[in-house]
Amino acid sequence: MIKDGAQHLRSLDDGRSILINGRRETAPAEHPAFRNVTRTAAALYDFQAAPENRDLMTFEVPGKGGLRVNRAWQLPRSYAELVERRKALTAWAEVHCGYLGRSPDHVASCLSAMAMGADLFETHGEGRGAALKAYYDHARDNDLYLAYVIIDPQADRSKATGEQKDEYLTASICDEDSGGITIRGAKMLGTSAIMANDILIASLRPVREGDAKYAFTASIPIGPKGLKLLSRRSYEQSATSRFDYPISSIWDENDAIVYFDDVKIPWDRVFVHRNPKMSLAQFHDTPAHSYQNYQSMIRLAVKLRYLVGIAHRITETIGTTDFPQVKETLGELASDAGMIDAYVHAMEAKGYQYGPYYLPDKATLYSAQVKAQKLYPKVIETIRELAGGGMIMLPSCEADFANPEARAIIEKTMLSASGDPAARVKLFKLAWDSIGSEFASRHAQYEIFYSGARHFVTSHAYRTYDWASAKGLVDRVLGGYELPAALKGAAE
Ligand SMILES: Cc1cc2nc3c(=O)[nH]c(=O)nc-3n(C[C@H](O)[C@H](O)[C@H](O)COP(=O)(O)OP(=O)(O)OC[C@H]3O[C@@H](n4cnc5c(N)ncnc54)[C@H](O)[C@@H]3O)c2cc1C
């Protein structure tokens, strides 16, 4: 049986603790702040379970009696398998037009790539690699939805983790015994954690040797006592209707501070233990960091395709498509969306062999990320320019259609080059929710920061680029001429 939506919704009934609006909530599938997006997550599993999507979305786990799970868990051994997997990830992203940044395939990609490098975990700590591999098998076989927190709370960035005012600001090991470790403190930001099954906790940033208690990696279900999710404001809950907020009402994946109030984690879920070197190496000496962000680029390619579609529909509605300058702007947008799509194909084509696995090229991935960080705000600004005041010149909410006085004005003023007044209102409300609403603004923040601040992302491009080849070209040119012999003495 392939995991479906009902199964996922049932799995969230685990007594989890979500702090929002001054209360402690336990049932995201029922709560007005989360219930629609939780159903969107369920819809992803229904999509993979639909008989017509079975082969596209799932693969058979070898040796498991025909068990099929999402292709996100597949460890590709060839270019063809990598592409097959990408097609599944693309189809899933199309369900939410790329608006779920932490859809289940994101952290599944991270964990799968860590599992490819399980030997490294073992080298750094006896039993840790075996625990990681067993956890990967468990998460894959149960097709778990994982979220992760890998960044320390922002606090004072001029200080190292261990120098903050409260030594337990950042989640760290506060105790351990033969049963496992106990974690106290916080991590930012558990996107999608409210509707995930498990949370992976790690440190993406370097941890100082003296701060080893912060250098751990572990995983735990969201439900246990002591694990608390402090949610930001819900855009879903403040959406007045689906018509007025078509996507924030259903795709607000949530972000939450994850607080560990002395949470015990058993040893078989601890993959890095008090080890600053491995804490860093797990992301960069295995394919984990690049593979999770490769998933992000597949998702972004879908989101940009959607946004470019919004741009074109706006110009059709206001009758500007054929203005030469507007065509030029649409052409630029098309090339922006095409560039990210091309990057995805390029990183696959330039892929490399990691043991038996075939993976996307890291330098191409990081090049794409650096470009994408600046590209997203630029695309949003360009669509705002194309839209003019159309996204603002709108009735307050769908109820205005029921008021004869308001409706008469809507029908007179909401004219467009294509479609009736209701269609115009519908499109512009969708456009606003996609690029201008509070939900859309959070998305701009997400696309700029989800993989780290700019200096962090550019450092990966710097680290992985083939400088030897670039400098080799320069050296070849330099080697082709000399200061004329007659002048050499003068120069010395
Ligand atoms: C919407 C959203 C969702 C997220 N979801 C997740 C998630 O699911 N899991 C997770 O683990 N994390 C998540 N994050 C956290 C994300 O990884 C961080 O925002 C990101 O790593 C940047 O860290 P920061 O926000 O603390 O910014 P900071 O590191 O504080 O940087 C903020 C700014 O300060 C300046 N700055 C800071 N340090 C330096 C420096 N050393 N040199 C120069 N300039 C500097 C730069 O201008 C930088 O842009 C999410 C973030 C957002 C916004």
The Cα 168–Cα 362 span in angstroms is 35
Whether residue 468 sits in one domain with residue 379 = yes
pLDDT score at 490: 62
Instruction: Indicate whether 25 pLDDT > 90.
Output: yes
Question: Does 225 fall in a domain?
Answer: yes
Question: Does 491 fall in a domain?
Answer: no
Whether residue 367 sits in one domain with residue 336 = yes
Q: Which residue has the higher pLDDT, 462 or 492?
A: 462
Which of 151, 230, 370, 438 has most ligand 1 atoms within 8 Å of its beta carbon, as the pocket-test mutant? 151
Average pLDDT over residues 440-450: 97
**In angstroms, what is the span from residue 452 Cα to ligand 1's centroid?**
5
End of a domain among 225, 253, 284?
A: 284
Question: Does 485 fall in a domain?
Answer: no
pLDDT score at 489: 73
Q: What is the pLDDT of residues 372-398, one digit of tens each?
A: 999 999 999 999 999 999 999 999 999
Question: Does 332 fall in a domain?
Answer: yes
**In angstroms, what is the span from residue 161 Cα to ligand 1's centroid?**
14
The Cα 299–Cα 353 span in angstroms is 24
pLDDT score at 418: 82
Could you identify the atom of ligand 1 that is nearest to the CA of residue 205? 21
Nearest CA to ligand 1 atom 26: 154
Instruction: Indicate whether 491 pLDDT > 60.
Output: no
Question: Does 165 fall in a domain?
Answer: yes
Whether residue 260 sits in one domain with residue 362 = no
Instruction: Indicate whether 137 pLDDT > 80.
Output: yes
Whether residue 350 sits in one domain with residue 468 = yes
Whether residue 388 sits in one domain with residue 352 = yes
Q: What is the pLDDT of residues 313-331, one digit of tens each?
A: 999 999 999 999 999 999 9
Q: What is the pLDDT of residues 74-88, one digit of tens each?
A: 999 999 999 999 999
Whether residue 382 sits in one domain with residue 258 = no
Nearest CA to ligand 1 atom 47: 453
For the four alpha carbons of 426, 384, 331 and 316, in that order, the dihedral sign comes to positive
- 398, 241 Cβ separation under 8 angstroms: yes
pLDDT score at 224: 83
Could you identify the atom of ligand 1 that is nearest to the CA of residue 442? 1
Which CATH number fits the domain that encloses residue 224? Answer: 2.40.110.10
Q: How confident is the model at residue 173 (pLDDT cuts 50, 70, 90)?
A: very high
The residues lining ligand 1, judged by C-beta closer than 6 Å to any ligand atom, are 102, 148-151, 154, 157, 188-191, 255, 442, 445-446, 449-450, 452-455
Nearest CA to ligand 1 atom 19: 449
How crowded is the C-beta side of 453, counted as CA atoms within 13 Å?
5
Whether residue 257 sits in one domain with residue 343 = no
Whether residue 434 sits in one domain with residue 298 = yes
Instruction: Indicate whether 340 pLDDT > 90.
Output: yes
Whether residue 368 sits in one domain with residue 246 = no
**In angstroms, what is the span from residue 453 Cα to ligand 1's centroid?**
5
Question: Does 422 fall in a domain?
Answer: yes
Which of 188, 232, 373, 455 has most ligand 1 atoms within 8 Å of its beta carbon, as the pocket-test mutant? 188
Instruction: Indicate whether 179 pLDDT > 90.
Output: yes
Question: Does 482 fall in a domain?
Answer: no
Nearest CA to ligand 1 atom 51: 450
The Cα 360–Cα 295 span in angstroms is 10
Question: Does 139 fall in a domain?
Answer: yes
> Which run of H or of E encompasses 262?
strand 256-266
Instruction: Write out the residue range of the structural domain in which residue 24 sits.
Output: 5-284
pLDDT score at 443: 98
Whether residue 154 sits in one domain with residue 215 = yes
End of a domain among 253, 269, 284?
A: 284
Torsion of CA 312, 318, 321, 325, to 10 degrees: -110
Output the average pLDDT for the chain: 96
End of a domain among 234, 255, 284?
A: 284
- 379, 307 Cβ separation under 8 angstroms: yes
Which CATH number fits the domain that encloses residue 307? Answer: 1.20.140.10
Share of the chain above pLDDT 90, in %: 97
- 428, 394 Cβ separation under 8 angstroms: yes
Whether residue 261 sits in one domain with residue 305 = no
DSSP string, 77-139: -SHHHHHHHHHHHHHHHHHTTT--TT-HHHHHHHHHHHHHTHHHHHHHSTTHHHHHHHHHHHH
Whether residue 226 sits in one domain with residue 124 = yes
- 305, 93 Cβ separation under 8 angstroms: no
The Cα 322–Cα 390 span in angstroms is 18
Q: How confident is the model at residue 492 (pLDDT cuts 50, 70, 90)?
A: low
Q: How many domains does the chain have?
A: 2
